[in-house]
Structure 1
Amino acid sequence: MKIAIHGRNFPESARSYIQSMFDELAQRQATILISHAYRGFLDMAGIVHYSEETYQPEEGVSEADFIFSLGGDGTLLDAVTHVGARQIPIVGINIGRLGFLATVAPATIRFMIDALYNQQYSIDERSLVSVQSNIDIFNGLPFGLNDFTITRTQTSSMITVHTYLDGDFLNSYWADGLIVSTPSGSTGYSLSCGGPVLLPQTNNFIITPISPHNLNVRPMIVMDSCRLSFEVESRSGNFLAALDSRSYTVDVSTRISVQKEHFKARLVKLSDDNFLNTLRSKLNWGWDIRN
């Protein structure tokens, strides 16, 4: 089995779990492929990783049975760009804080590896948002798992986002910005701006305004088979376009549209991994003295 591994900085408390993961993979004679930046960090941290193979994140993983993401949800979002249309299954190991996407606890890593080898897992396919524009904003990676956002720059005042649904005018949002979220991203930025939570397999986008000037403007759910397009007005002459954790300053002359990507992200789920359980745990539902 060939395993690609990507990660970020980790606390000292996770060291033993990470080392045991590499030990277990080596014992099973797995071929290990590590992202170039993470390989350097592992060397500095003194982790024995049994691998001489690396890959460059900008080139992506060309061939692997699985890719392990060691970190939080942000690390998993990086891993999605490393995989792209190859749709290699992603295992999210939560060494971060929140963990809506990265749901494997460090203490269960050995159990997870055993489940992979025994094919005791399922694949959760998640839809992606795809961005089209008249310039290459995202360096050849115009897709994301969570959301696409248009926001004002730090020095600018409120912007106006003229929004169209399949070519028909929807609304002009006077706001700090606008979020187009997938169901996976409904528990992220959109949620903090008042958007609803969607189940992962819901075939929708959420349009969520960020601090709108008109208080009667509310988040809206639309089918993900539609195409959304935008024209932006800003006193500064530019705005920020962000796709998951990647953001760039863009001129207002840029024309942008979004729709559902033709491929999906494939997340590995173990037998005890349930989205409703994750919601209750991460959002503290039911934490009430009356229960």
Structure 2
Amino acid sequence: MKRFLIKPNPKMEHVREGIWNVANSLRELGATVLMEHQYRCLGEIEEIKYCTSEEVDQVAEAVLVLGGDGTLLRAAHETRLPLLGINFGHLGFISELTKEETDLFSRLIEDDFQIESRMMLRCVRIRNGEENKPFYALNDIVTSRGTGESILRMNLLIDDAYADTYLADGLIVTTPTGSTAYALSAGGSILEPDVEALEITPVCPHMLRARSLVVSSQRKIAIMLAEEKSAHVVADGIALYDIQAGDRLEIKRGEKETRFIRVHSRSFYDILHEKLGSDTH
């Protein structure tokens, strides 16, 4: 690889310094470094060429994402190019490098890396027989009650067969990638990234028997409100729309995938110990 687009979180501390360090390290290796025009407001950097958002997939071979997991999730929605996360945030669970590991950029130039594909979710709302534009999520789709609203009663269908009714603040449908995010905090299980499964986890359930449900990634999941209320739908932290009684929220594995660049040989369990503090040694 020789052409890299930098996509930073403009709100991170010392953002211009971080961009310059990454760009300069790549230029010293003979790479072309690009950034979208929208980031010119951070201050122009001589080592960088600028392009439009529409040109990204044609002019770059990979995207280097500077920030935390939230910045990586947004990048996954915007491009189909391989992503390399460089953690300038806090946890950085799905980031590959720390901001100090610029010496590993040589692995990119030499094509000494692996590409790891992660499944995405496809979500649509069906109202009065009309299906809206699909949205794709790498981590999760969350259906939740609004602030000050009472608990939700939600029917869950799997491949159009009734599965259960949940009394809860919400439901999280997650990919294996998202199983270490919000769903984990809600009591869900951790899934290995390459498991062909989706997980459904209730948020603050008001029922003794409520547990996470793991289903095949080939299943179609539908959520419907069982009473005259409304609920918010959020995908990877992005508010999409509300659903009402009579609406049907359909979620399934999407045809799109997110590709991550991996230069480390760490196992998934090494990352769990490092990022989630589960190492008891």
Same fold (TM over 0.5): yes
| Correspondence for 1:62 among 17, 41, 57 | 57
Q: Say whether the 8 Å CA contact 1:60–1:81 is kept in structure 2.
A: no
Native 8 Å contact 2:34 2:51 kept in 1: yes
Q: 1:160 to 1:217 in 2, by over 3 A?
A: same
Please provide the CA RMSD for this pair. Answer: 2.1
Paired residues, number? 274
1:275 is matched with which residue?
Answer: 268
- 2:235 corresponding residue in structure 1: 243
2:23 counterpart letter in structure 1: F
User: What residue ranges of structure 2 are gaps of 5+ in the alignment?
Assistant: none
Single out whichever of 3-12 and 30-39 deviates more from structure 2: 30-39
Are the counterparts in 2 of residues 103 and 273 from structure 1 also a CA contact under 8 Å? no
Contact 2:6–2:66 at 8 Å: present in 1 too? Answer: yes
Cα distance between partner residues in 2 of 1:37 and 1:183:
32
Where in structure 1 are there 5+ consecutive unaligned residues? none
**Residue 256 (1) aligns with residue 254 (2):** no
Whether 1:266 and 2:268 are equivalent positions in the alignment is: no
1:215–1:258 Cα change, 3 Å: same
Name the aligned partner's letter for residue 62 of structure 1.
Answer: D
After superposition, give the CA deviation of every residue in 1:57-95 in whole Å (9 maximum; x if it has no partner): xx5843221011110000000110111xxx311000110
Pairs within 5 Å for 1:110-149: 111-134=103-126, 142-149=135-142
Residue equivalent to 1:73? 69
Q: Is 1:26 aligned to residue 21 of structure 2?
A: no
Alignment of 1:93-172 (within 5 A): 93-109=86-102, 111-134=103-126, 142-172=135-165
Question: What secondary structure is seen at the aligned counterpart in 1 of 2:270?
Answer: helix
Question: In 1, distance between residues paired with 2:72 and 2:223?
Answer: 28
Indicate the residue corresponding to 1:50 in structure 2. Answer: 48
**Structure 1 position 136, deviation (Å):** 6.9
Shift of 1:17: 4.5
Q: Secondary structure at the match of 1:190?
A: helix
Deviation per CA, 1:126-185: give whole Å up to 9, x if none. 111111223676xx5611110011000113111111110001000111100000010000
Moved over 6 A (4+): none
SS at match of 2:183: helix
> Would the alpha carbon gap of residues 107 and 175 (structure 1) be closer, same or farther in structure 2, given more than 3 Å must change?
same
Alignment map for 1:3-14 (pairs within 5 Å): 3-8=4-9, 9-12=11-14
Alpha-carbon displacement from aligned partner over 1:194-249 (angstroms, at most 9, x marks no partner):
001111001111110001110211111111110001111455x3211011011134
Which is richer in strand?
A: 2
Q: Could you state the TM-score of these two structures normalised by the residue count of structure 1?
A: 0.87
The one-letter amino acid of 1:26's match is: R
User: How far does residue 275 in structure 1 lie from its aligned partner after superposition?
Assistant: 1.9
Maintained 8 Å contact 2:223/2:248: yes
1:208 corresponds, among 176, 201, 217, to 201
Deviation at 1:5? 1.9
Q: 1:151 to 1:61 in 2, by over 3 A?
A: farther
> What percentage of residue pairs aligned between the two structures are identical?
28
User: 3-state SS of the aligned residue for 1:197?
Assistant: coil
Equivalent residues of 2:64, 2:86 under 8 A apart: yes
Q: What CA distance in whole angstroms lies between the structure 1 residues aligned with 2:208 and 2:40?
A: 49
